[in-house]
Amino acid sequence: MKHILVTGGAGFIGSHLVDSLLKDDFNVVVLDDLSSGKMQNLPNDERLQFIQGDVADHLLIDKVFKEFTFSHIFHLAAIASVHESVTNTYRCHKVNCEASLYLLEKARKCTALKRMVYASSAAVYGDDPALPKSEDSPTRPISPYGIDKYTAEQYMLIYNRLYGVPAVALRYFNVYGPRQNGCSMDGGVVSIFLNKFLSAEKPVATIYGDGQQTRDFVYIKDVVNASRYVMTHETASGNVYNVATGRETSILNVIQGLEEITGHKAQILFSDKRTGDIERSFADISRLRALGFVPRYSLLESLQEYVETSGEIERPEAR
Ligand SMILES: NC(=O)c1ccc[n+]([C@@H]2O[C@H](COP(=O)([O-])OP(=O)(O)OC[C@H]3O[C@@H](n4cnc5c(N)ncnc54)[C@H](O)[C@@H]3O)[C@@H](O)[C@H]2O)c1
């Protein structure tokens, strides 16, 4: 019996992907150390097997690949914190980069493997000012996190060229949606603001800078959809894809959207711009569109759904 491995499957993006795979009757193995992921993000399902452990533990990975035959691998496990990559650079490198290379070594020997999808990041573009960011834009990472993501995705591509590993790298832009951590600085800004709007009648939102800075915010359902496209599309292997909407949205626009949907007016506190924050970012997604992908969610539609489902994190059947 063939399985799909989802590393980091108990996390925000990984758990939504697991839901989608289970819906389509796949057998799924989640490997996660629960450092930021949660068991309650995962459903009780007999087709799901959970292994708690460190993706950088070679002995564990050897064991997992001995026990299961994988048709697909989604590799999302990572210390997804730019801040932590600055304060704990070596450990982050082991998890975010070296573990990916070891997985590729295993994937190389997997004859049944049809696709390996790696979760890279728009952080690889860093502070290069060219816009929109296309996959051919210069890469100028400004954090150890960005360097590790770039290195790991390039290993995906080179293992494709050298050994025919059917690997794809996805550069996620600013993903948001239910189950994202809205409590810490490492959570996405949409989730942080939404949390404030849901917990107070008069939410206080702190903006670093003037709020005109822009990002390409992409809803989790569009991200899962994009991941499923590259999982099956014949020509996807050996390529890198931006996963975004192609729309440029300012931080103030996000707050306005939340005000409109919740009916609460925010008190905005403007604080000093943070060093390292980039001014503008949005993606050219024509490469992904060429596979048939279309982003379905507008900012307002997704915020509306996010607000409506924000209690969903506590699953009644939590394991
Ligand atoms: N959320 C975004 O906007 C975004 C943007 C770009 C890239 N990404 C990438 O997408 C992936 C998923 O991110 P997310 O937002 O869902 O974050 P997340 O923190 O919710 O998910 C990461 C998961 O990996 C697990 N993990 C961390 N270290 C591990 C280890 N050593 N061994 C096993 N599991 C480990 C965590 O417990 C967590 O479940 C990450 O690779 C991240 O770098 C996310």
Q: Which atom of ligand 1 is nearest to the CA of 75?
A: 41
CB 69 within 8 A of CB 112: yes
- Report pTM: 0.95
Please name the CATH architecture into which domain 2-173+218-243 falls. Answer: 3-Layer(aba) Sandwich (3.40)
CB 171 within 8 A of CB 121: yes
Question: In this structure, how many other beta carbons lie within 10 angstroms of the beta carbon of residue 90?
Answer: 8
pLDDT digits (tens, 9 = 90+) for 46-76: 999 999 999 999 999 999 999 999 999 999 9
Residues in contact with 150: Cβ distance below 8 Å, sequence separation at least 6, in sequence order: 120, 124, 139, 141
List the structure tokens of 20: 């989608």
pLDDT digits (tens, 9 = 90+) for 117-142: 999 999 999 988 899 999 999 999 99
Residue 260 Cα, ligand 1 centroid: separation in angstroms?
31
Give CATH 3.90.25.10 domain extents, the chain: 176-216+247-277+297-309
**What residues does ligand 1 touch, defined as CB less than 6 Å away?**
8, 10-14, 32-37, 54-56, 76-80, 95, 119, 121, 172, 174-175, 188
Q: Which atom of ligand 1 is nearest to the CA of 37?
A: 39
How big is the chain, counted in residues?
A: 319
* Minimal-distance CA residue to ligand 1 atom 26: 77
What DSSP state is assigned to residue 309?
A: H
pLDDT of residue 187: 66
Band the pLDDT of 274: cuts 50, 70, 90: confident
Tell me: pLDDT of 178 over 60: yes
Which are the catalytic amino acids?
145
pLDDT of residue 314: 36
Angstrom distance (rounded) from CA 198 to CA 313:
14
- Residues 24, 27, 28: CA angle, nearest 5 degrees: 100
Angstrom distance (rounded) from CA 49 to CA 2:
13
Q: How many CA atoms lie within 13 A of 293 on its CB side?
A: 29
One CATH from 3.90.25.10, 3.40.710.10, 3.40.720.10, 3.40.50.300 for 176-216+247-277+297-309:
3.90.25.10
* Minimal-distance CA residue to ligand 1 atom 10: 119
